[in-house]
Amino acid sequence: MLIKINGLIIRDTAYGESDKMLTVLTAERGKISVTGKGVRSQKSVLRVSAHIMFYGELTLYERGDRLWLREAAEIRDFYDVSLGLEALSLVAYVFDVINEVCVDGEDESALLRLTLNTLHMICEKKRSLPFIKAVFELRCAAEAGFAPLLDGECALCGKKGARCLDYAGGSLICAACADRENRGTAALPADVISALRHVVSADPARIFAFRIDTKAAENFYEACERYLTAQLDRLLPTLTYLRSVFPDTKTNVTDER
């Protein structure tokens, strides 16, 4: 049976002499595995499509629980080597996260939309990479069902004005409870908490549409990374590598004002 579905290739792995195993993020079916038969061959018409960062309408042959790529009509190919090492490393991290949180066979339209928006922001180069990374991290956690509670009340004692983000617990707690429970988190500035609230609750098309002061940006970046890492309960290898090649955020946040 032939099916047509829009999908973003988030992983491609060489297989056999000329094949590839593709991991494709779709809205309707979530994350799916597709065999690209012969796509590494110089003669294959699918060679230019069967790679990461390609988004298009895919025609797949389905038999049982297996899928093969038959045709691919480009909607947008995000891959561009001119993006540079830092940007491509960020893309690899984004795809690694998505591969972790997406569920096979589930509706993942929100995560697909977030991933496409993030790739667009990276390619447009209108905001700094650390800013794009942070927004993606927090919104991804929220779309995956791990949105932090940011209403301002301590989740442990109910005290108002709580500003310490409990990364593992997913809520704000007051400084006294943070110290008593040894949560190891400091109070966040009010503008950082406002930025976190925006990312979690804004319309999908508006999540990147805000500015944050240079002084607050570092706290914002750290909070988003620590929160997602805590929710995943593991440090992804792509994040470790990204840290080694990423530009110094202290000198690359001035455009967030």
pLDDT at 102: 93
The number of domains in the chain is 2
Measured CA to CA, the distance from residue 223 to residue 123 in angstroms comes to: 24
* Torsional sign, CA 212, 214, 219, 222: positive
pLDDT at 243: 92
pLDDT at 152: 87
On whether both 187 and 159 belong to a single domain, the answer is yes
Query: Which residue in the block uniquely carries the two structure tokens 């195993």?
Result: 21
CATH number at residue 54: 2.40.50.140
Name the phi and psi angles at 49, rounded to 5.
Answer: -110, -30
pLDDT at 255: 42
Cβ contacts of 212 within 8 Å, gap of 6 or more: 131, 191, 192, 195, 220, 256, 257
On whether both 23 and 94 belong to a single domain, the answer is no
On whether both 101 and 62 belong to a single domain, the answer is no
On whether both 17 and 73 belong to a single domain, the answer is yes
Residues of the chain with pLDDT under 70: 247-257
- Please write the tens of the pLDDT for every residue from 95-107: 999 999 998 888 9
CATH number at residue 178: 1.20.1440.120
- Please write the tens of the pLDDT for every residue from 119-152: 999 999 989 999 999 999 999 999 999 999 999 8
On whether both 34 and 127 belong to a single domain, the answer is no
pLDDT at 253: 39
pTM: 0.93
Residue 38: give the domain boundaries.
Answer: 2-77
Measured CA to CA, the distance from residue 5 to residue 109 in angstroms comes to: 12
